[in-house]
Chain A
Amino acid sequence: MLSDRRPILLANARIVDPSRDFDGPGDVLIADGVIRDTQRGIRAAGVPEGTEIVDCRGRMVAPGLVDMRAFVGEPGAEYRETFASASQAAAAGGVTTIVCQPDTTPVIDDPALVDFILRRARDTAIVHVHPMAALTKGIGGEELAEIGLLKAAGAVAFTDGIRSVTNALVMRRALTYARDFEALVVHHTEDPDLVGEGVMNEGEFAARLGLSGIPKAAETIMLERDLRLVALTGSRYHAASITCAESLDVLRRAKEAGLEVTAAASVNHLTLNEVDIGSYRTFFKVSPPLRAEDDRRALITALASGLVDVVMSDHNPQDVEVKRLPFAEASPGAIGLETMLPAALRLIHDGDLTLLTLLKAMSTRPAELLGLPGGTLRPGSPADVIVVDLEAPWVLDPETLKSKCKNTPFDEARLQGRAVRTIVAGRTVYEYV
C-alpha cells in the first residue's frame, strides 16, 4: 500500500550521504516522515512496533534527488506534462523534489500563480514540487517581476526559463534587487543573436549535416557578462545549464574571486555529445545544444572538482508533433526526470566520478542553493530517501516511461542501475518490482 505511513527500516544498506561525506554500511530508520536514525544494527536495538523492515541487501540508500530544472507543462501545456505525470516520472527516477520552471502559459510571474502551483502540486503530485518564478514580467526581459512577493509566496529562485535577459541594464537591476531579498537568480546563458538560426553545436559535424551552428561563444559571452554584473552587485547567481570548456574557465575565475556563483550541467551534456545526433535525430536536439566530446569530458572533470555544483535533468517533454520534423524545425528538449539517475550512473560505472560527488550534485547542493530541507540523511531531516540498485542492467523502453511525452535520448539505451524504492516524507511513493 503506497500511502502506508508505518515506520520503515532500511536494513543492511550501503548508505551514501553526501551531506556528511559518508559512504558505508548502515541501517536507516524512518518514522513520522522523518529520518530517525542511521546507525548500524538498529534492528537489534529495537524498532517501533509495526515497522516495515526492508532488507536492502547492500543496495544503496541515499537522499532523494532534488532536480533543479524540470519543465512541467502546468499551467497551459497539460498535454505535455502535469504535476501528476511529472511526479510519477520523478518518483520512478528517484527524484523526490522537482523544481519547476516559470516559462509556462501563463508565465509564473504573479504570487497567485505560485500559490496555484503549490496547491496543484499538493493535490496531484506524489513528490515535492517547488516553483521557480520569473525574473522579469512575462519573461519579457524588460521589467522586474515581483521578486519579494513571489519569494514570500514560495518561489525558490528566479529565472526567465530558457530565455536569456539580453539587456545588461535590466539584468544588473534584477541582480541588485534580488540581493535585497537574498533571492537566487538562475540564468540561461545564451546570447540569442549569436544563436541566430543555429540548431546544434557549431563545427564540422553541423557543417556536414548542413545545419546552422550555435557557437560556444554564445554561451560564454553571456556567462562572462553575467559574472561581471555579479561582481558589481554582489548577488547570488546560478548558471542554469553550462555546456562547454570555455564556460568553465569563466566560472572558475568568478569562483576564485569569491563571488557567490554556482552552475549546473544537465545530465544530457554529461553523458551525450553532438555526434549522438547521428542522422538528424531530433530527440538529441536540446537547448543549449549538445557539444563536442572534449566539452563533455571537461564538464565531468569540473563536476568531480566541484566547479560544477549541480546536475539536473533539464526535463522538457515534447510530443511527437513537434519532434517528428526536420531537425531545424523540431522543438528542442528531452525528458529526463526518470532517466537522470540511471544515465548519470554511467559516469560511476565508467569510473569518472564517485557516488558521493555525483549524488551531492543531484541532492545536497541543489537543496542548499534553494534553501530546501532535503538532500541529507541526517537524523531529524525529512525522510526523502531512495533505495538504488546500482548494478541492475536494463534496456530503456520509452513506452514504460511515466512521462506524458516519450522524447528521451536514451530510447533503447542500455543502462545500469535504477531507483528501486522512492520515499517522500516517510511514505513509499514508488517501488520497482
Chain B
Amino acid sequence: MNVAPKSSFVLSRRHLLGIEGLSREEIGGLLDLADEFVHLNRQIEKKRASLRGRTLINLFFESSTRTQSSFELAGKRLGADVMNMSVGASAMRKGETLMDTAVTLNAMRPDLLVMRHHASGAVELLAHKVDGSVVNAGDGAHEHPTQALLDALTIRRNKGRIEGLLVAICGDILHSRVARSNIILLNTLGARVRVIAPSTLLPPGIERFGVEVARDMREGLAGADIVMMLRLQRERMNGSFVPSVQEYFHYFGLDQKKLAYAKSDALVMHPGPMNRGVEIDSSVADGAQSLIRQQVEMGVAVRMAVLEALSRNLPNV
C-alpha cells in the first residue's frame, strides 16, 4: 500500500451536488488532494485502502462510458466495492420511479452514490432520500461538478494558476451542464470567463452569470488563455438550433485558423466525447496545444479526491 496523501482535506458536507455553493478554499482543497492522486496514479501500485469496506454505486440514468468508468476506477483505486447500474434500460422502463429506485438502492446501504440523470435537479431529489453521500455526475443542463474540477486541475497544472486567466467556453452553452459548472467554478477562482455561441445556443439571462458574451470566434477567442470546446448534440444541429453541421463548423468549429485568434500559448480543452469536424477539427484535437487526453487522466484523480474527501466526513460506525 502507498503512503497516505499529505493533504488531510475534508469536504465538510454530505453530498457534492454542484459547484454552486463551494468556497474557494473547498475547491482548492479538492484540487490539492487531486494533485496527490495524479502522482499516485502514475505509480505501478495505484491502490489505497481509504475506502476499504465502503460500497460505491454508480447509478446512471443516462448512458456514459467515460464518466462512469472514471468513477469506477476512482472508487476501485481507493479500495471501495464498486457496483455499476445503468437504469435507463431496465427499471425505468418497467415504470419504477426515481424515488422507488432510490429507496431500493438505499436499502443496499451504499456509502457513496454517484448519479447521473437527464433531468435537472434529479440528483438533488435523490439525495434527500438516501443515507449515504451523493455525488452528482451530471444532472440535465444543471451541473457536472467533477468535470469542472477536473478542468480546473488540468488548467492549474498547465498554467500554474487559474486566477486572472481568460477562459473562452465555446459551443452549446444552452444545454451544457459542463458550461454551468465551469462558469461558477472559474468565477469563484477569479478567472475571466467568456462564452462564445450562436444566440440560439445561449441561455436567456447568461449575461447575468458574470461572463462576457461573444457571438463570433474571432472576437471571442481574442486574448484567450484557455479554449474550452463543448459538444453539440446531433439532434440539435439539423435546423432546430443551428441550420447545419457545415454552417456550424464554418462559424464555430475550432480549427487551426480560429485557434490563432487566441493567445499563442492558448490551450484547448474538450469534455468529450468529441464530434470531430463539428465543433473541433482533428488537427486541433490532436495538436500540440490540446489538453484533451490529459483531462481524462485528471478526471480519475479528481474523482478520487472527491470520493476521499467526502468519505472522510462519513460516519465511521
Binding site for B on A (CB under 8 A): 202-211, 213, 215, 279-280, 321, 324-329
Knowing A210-B140, A210-B141, A210-B180 are in contact, say whether A279-B205 is a contact too (CB < 8 A).
Answer: no
Interface of chain B, main secondary structure: mixed
Let me know if A211 and B209 touch, CB within 8 A: no
Per the 8 Å Cβ criterion, residues 96-124 of B in contact with A are 97-99, 117, 119-122, 124
CB of A141, distance to nearest CB on chain B (Å): 24
Q: Which residues of A contact B206 (CB under 8 A)?
A: 207
Q: Which residues of B contact A279 (CB under 8 A)?
A: 121, 124
Let me know if A211 and B120 touch, CB within 8 A: yes
Let me know if A326 and B120 touch, CB within 8 A: yes
Let me know if A204 and B139 touch, CB within 8 A: no
Q: Which residues of A contact B20 (CB under 8 A)?
A: 208
Report the Cα distance A73→B138, complex, angstroms: 37
CB of A431, distance to nearest CB on chain B (Å): 38
Let me know if A326 and B98 touch, CB within 8 A: yes
CB of A413, distance to nearest CB on chain B (Å): 20
Residue in A closest to B140 when the chains form the complex, CB atoms: A210
Knowing A280-B125, A328-B140 are in contact, say whether A207-B120 is a contact too (CB < 8 A).
Answer: no
Let me know if A204 and B205 touch, CB within 8 A: yes
With an 8 A cutoff between CB atoms, is B177 at the interface? yes
- How many A-B Cβ pairs are below 8 Å? 70
CB of A211, distance to nearest CB on chain B (Å): 5
Report the Cα distance A208→B210, complex, angstroms: 12
Interface string of B260-288 (1 = CB under 8 A from A): 00000000000000000000000000000
Let me know if B209 and A209 touch, CB within 8 A: no
Report the Cα distance A418→B124, complex, angstroms: 35
Let me know if A209 and B120 touch, CB within 8 A: yes
Report the Cα distance A209→B120, complex, angstroms: 7
Let me know if B204 and A207 touch, CB within 8 A: yes
Which residue of A202, A204, A209, A215 contacts B121 across the interface (Cβ within 8 Å)? A209
CB of B230, distance to nearest CB on chain A (Å): 14
Per the 8 Å Cβ criterion, residues 5-60 of B in contact with A are 20
Report the Cα distance A280→B128, complex, angstroms: 12
Knowing A280-B124, A326-B98, A328-B140 are in contact, say whether A207-B119 is a contact too (CB < 8 A).
Answer: no
With an 8 A cutoff between CB atoms, is B231 at the interface? no
CB of B310, distance to nearest CB on chain A (Å): 19
Let me know if B124 and A206 touch, CB within 8 A: no
Interface string of B173-191 (1 = CB under 8 A from A): 0000100100000000000
Q: Which residues of A contact B142 (CB under 8 A)?
A: 209-211
With an 8 A cutoff between CB atoms, is B208 at the interface? yes
Q: Which residues of A contact B98 (CB under 8 A)?
A: 325-326
Q: Which residues of B contact A280 (CB under 8 A)?
A: 120-121, 124-125
Let me know if B121 and A207 touch, CB within 8 A: no
With an 8 A cutoff between CB atoms, is B203 at the interface? yes
Q: Which residues of A contact B140 (CB under 8 A)?
A: 210-211, 326, 328
Knowing A280-B124, A280-B125, A321-B97 are in contact, say whether A326-B119 is a contact too (CB < 8 A).
Answer: yes
Q: Which residues of B contact A209 (CB under 8 A)?
A: 120-121, 142
A-B contact pairs, 23 of them (CB 8 A): A202-B204, A202-B205, A203-B204, A204-B208, A204-B209, A205-B205, A206-B204, A207-B205, A208-B205, A209-B120, A209-B142, A210-B139, A210-B177, A211-B142, A213-B204, A280-B125, A321-B97, A324-B97, A326-B117, A326-B122, A328-B119, A328-B120, A328-B140
Residue in B closest to A280 when the chains form the complex, CB atoms: B121
Nearest 4 Cβ contacts at the A-B interface: A210-B142, A204-B205, A326-B119, A280-B121
CB of A210, distance to nearest CB on chain B (Å): 3
Report the Cα distance A204→B205, complex, angstroms: 4
Report the Cα distance A215→B120, complex, angstroms: 19
Report the Cα distance A210→B181, complex, angstroms: 11
Per the 8 Å Cβ criterion, residues 159-180 of B in contact with A are 177, 180
Report the Cα distance A338→B177, complex, angstroms: 40
Let me know if A203 and B97 touch, CB within 8 A: no
Report the Cα distance A209→B142, complex, angstroms: 5
